[in-house]
Chain A
Amino acid sequence: MRIQAIVIRIIQQFFRDKRTLGLMIVAPMFVLLLMSLVFNGEDYHPTVAVSNMPEPLKEQLEEQNVTIVDYTEQEAMEALKEKELDAFIKMNKEPEINLEGSDPTANKAVLMAFQEAMKSMQTNGGEQKLAIHYLYGSEDMELFDNFGPVLIGFFIFFFVFLISGVSFLKERTGGTLERLLATPLRRWEIVVGYVIGFGLFTTVQATLISWFSIQILGIMMEGSFFYVLLITFLLAMTALTLGTLLSAYANNELQMIQFIPIVVVPQVFFSGLFNMETMAEWLQSIGLVMPLTYGADALREIMIRGQGWEMIAQDVYILLAFSIGFMILNILALKKHRKL
């Protein structure tokens, strides 16, 4: 009953504030659209395993900044699945290139390097046939298909974080939080009320943004739409609970916005939007504490690799743990305002 009161109130407030509602839904779509228009490739140094490759060709490849590792065929295919390798090249009568495939930049880099290396080896000038296999993805895949899932996750996270944080902050600075704490509402009821009230909106938001990205922008989508919704919803929940939690440490809207470069932006760099293999090991592990890492990973598994529950289960549990953890911290943070 009391939770319901909060949920109803939040919904009413949302419909009164059409701009915020628009910001949550239209702004992410707009930015995604821009990104899909402007993305271009960059230099990338692939890691490749080879078999039966003549030494001179290897040297040529290394000159093209390709890192060559020695694996057996079986090891190499395993490593491909684990994303440790970008490609496995088998030299039979005609060269066979097995690409991991989900990152178009890596695909292109491997193919370019190989063709360059072959060209400089060729003495008789005859065009050599290439057999190319994609473990995931396809040659139609564009860079945006690879970034897209991460961006969907990121924008949902970003806007939900900001809006929920500011609205909880307003509750505190406007005196209504104190007023609520003078009622028999329990602290957890306030937090759960917020989660449900906002949860309804983020569900709508996540659905619309995912639909827009897939249907209108044509982002690659191999897996189940339901799983995409599940992950975006969980990401939104994490953002919501983190936003309301951090709002306790902001005194006004501007201070809430100051959390963006500290909390939100770093997640972009460490969640896999940019290739992290060139980073120091300890830097890469920073991503482990960031919710977006798991959301982005799961979205890529679903949308690019077409994976199902087995591959995303761990991410789902971690995102759930983040949300529940932040909720508990929220309930504890409210203790600052009322002991009971």
Chain B
Amino acid sequence: MAFSSCITVNNVTKNFGKHNVLNDISLGIQNAEIFGLLGPSGAGKTTLVKIIAGIDTATTGNVSVLGTEMPNLEIMKRIGYMAQSDALYEELTAKENLEFFGRIYGLKRTQRRQRIAEVMDIVGLTEDLNKKVNKYSGGMKRRLSLAAALLHRPELLILDEPTVGIDPVLRKSIWQELETLREQGTTILVTTHVMDEADKCQRLAMLRDGKLIAVGTPSELKESSSSTTLEEAFLTYGGAE
């Protein structure tokens, strides 16, 4: 695992004051896999991905990404992060938003233009490029956030609840796109609380109350808990505590 590992999480614990959010989490995520973090809200998924993305730091333990301990600004250039909130400048157009993020990642003008066209096509927003974001629907904002995360061709894509508020048709096409990116070698870490999405991941980690309760492929998790759906598996693991 260490050989082709993209993310290594070692004994990470995170406390906010006295409140314990993550409890001794260890994980390895390999290159070019879609890895899902599954768990109910409040389980600590967002905190964990923030620590991996280098925004937050662990109270104890450490995380390395692409062979370097986080946080590290050089590595952050190679990560694409899509936050749970849309984090867009509402009064600007989609294009202006993407131009902004493109500049921050140091994309040259022609590169920016080309990449903006590409990512807007991926998320199906080409028509709305020059529309102001405050005219966007919730689902469109979500897709634009994803586009912003894809802009600089990151090697690691961290997506925090990427498909909330996106209709099933588009959700399917986004997952297809993620699969294509994975085939091209991108590692994707995605958090979700939707079980049928979790099924599309190569491997999964189940998180509850800040503890890692199970790791494996969707079918492994179902088998070892002798359940037919991930939902059942989750309940079994959770109840077994």
Asked if residues B86 and A339 are in contact (CB atoms below 8 Å), the reply is: no
Q: Which of A1, A5, A340 has a CB less than 8 Å from the CB of B54?
A: A340
A174-B85, A174-B87 as given contacts; A184 in contact with B76, CB under 8 Å: yes
Instruction: Kindly list chain A residues whose C-beta atoms are within 8 Å of the C-beta of B85.
Output: 174-175, 178
Asked if residues B77 and A184 are in contact (CB atoms below 8 Å), the reply is: yes
Instruction: Kindly list chain B residues whose C-beta atoms are within 8 Å of the C-beta of A337.
Output: 55
Q: Which of A8, A176, A183, A339 has a CB less than 8 Å from the CB of B76?
A: A183
CA distance A128 to B71 in the complex (A): 83
Could you give, for residues 93-106 of chain B, a 1 whenever the CB lies within 8 Å of some chain A CB and a 0 otherwise?
00010011101111
CA distance A25 to B84 in the complex (A): 37
Could you give, for residues 137-162 of chain B, a 1 whenever the CB lies within 8 Å of some chain A CB and a 0 otherwise?
00000000000100000000000000
Asked if residues B92 and A13 are in contact (CB atoms below 8 Å), the reply is: yes
Kindly report which residue of chain A lies nearest to residue B70, judged by CB atoms: A340
A12 within 8 Å of B (CB atoms): yes
Asked if residues B106 and A1 are in contact (CB atoms below 8 Å), the reply is: yes
Could you give, for residues 183-196 of chain A, a 1 whenever the CB lies within 8 Å of some chain B CB and a 0 otherwise?
11110000000000
A338-B71, A340-B71 as given contacts; A178 in contact with B55, CB under 8 Å: yes
Kindly report which residue of chain B lies nearest to residue A9, judged by CB atoms: B100
Instruction: Kindly list chain A residues whose C-beta atoms are within 8 Å of the C-beta of B87.
Output: 174-176, 178-179
- Report A312 CB to chain B, min CB distance, Å: 38
- Report B60 CB to chain A, min CB distance, Å: 15
A257 within 8 Å of B (CB atoms): no
- Report A24 CB to chain B, min CB distance, Å: 16
Instruction: Kindly list chain B residues whose C-beta atoms are within 8 Å of the C-beta of A180.
Output: 104
Q: How many residues in B have their beta carbons less than 8 Å from beta carbons of A? A: 33
- Report A167 CB to chain B, min CB distance, Å: 10
CA distance A9 to B96 in the complex (A): 8
Instruction: Kindly list chain B residues whose C-beta atoms are within 8 Å of the C-beta of A1.
Output: 103, 106
CA distance A184 to B76 in the complex (A): 6
Kindly report which residue of chain B lies nearest to residue A2, judged by CB atoms: B104
Asked if residues B88 and A176 are in contact (CB atoms below 8 Å), the reply is: yes
CA distance A337 to B100 in the complex (A): 21
- Report A95 CB to chain B, min CB distance, Å: 66
- Among A8, A182, A340, the most chain B Cβ lie within 10 Å of the Cβ of A182
- Report B150 CB to chain A, min CB distance, Å: 14
B189 within 8 Å of A (CB atoms): no
Instruction: Kindly list chain B residues whose C-beta atoms are within 8 Å of the C-beta of A175.
Output: 83-87
Could you give, for residues 322-340 of chain A, a 1 whenever the CB lies within 8 Å of some chain B CB and a 0 otherwise?
0000000000000001111
A338-B71, A340-B54, A340-B73 as given contacts; A5 in contact with B88, CB under 8 Å: no
CA distance A191 to B132 in the complex (A): 26
Q: Which of B71, B86, B99, B105 has a CB less than 8 Å from the CB of A183?
A: B105
In the complex, 16 of the A-B residue pairs with CB atoms within 8 angstroms, ordered by the A residue number, are: A2-B106, A9-B100, A12-B92, A13-B91, A175-B86, A178-B87, A182-B83, A183-B101, A183-B105, A184-B77, A184-B104, A186-B73, A340-B54, A340-B71, A340-B72, A340-B73
Sorted from nearest, which 10 A-B pairs have the closest CB atoms? A5-B103, A175-B85, A179-B87, A182-B81, A16-B91, A175-B87, A184-B77, A184-B73, A340-B71, A176-B87
Given contacts A1-B103, A1-B106, A178-B85, 13 further A-B contacts (CB under 8 A): A5-B104, A9-B89, A9-B92, A13-B92, A175-B84, A176-B88, A178-B55, A178-B83, A179-B81, A182-B53, A183-B104, A339-B71, A340-B54
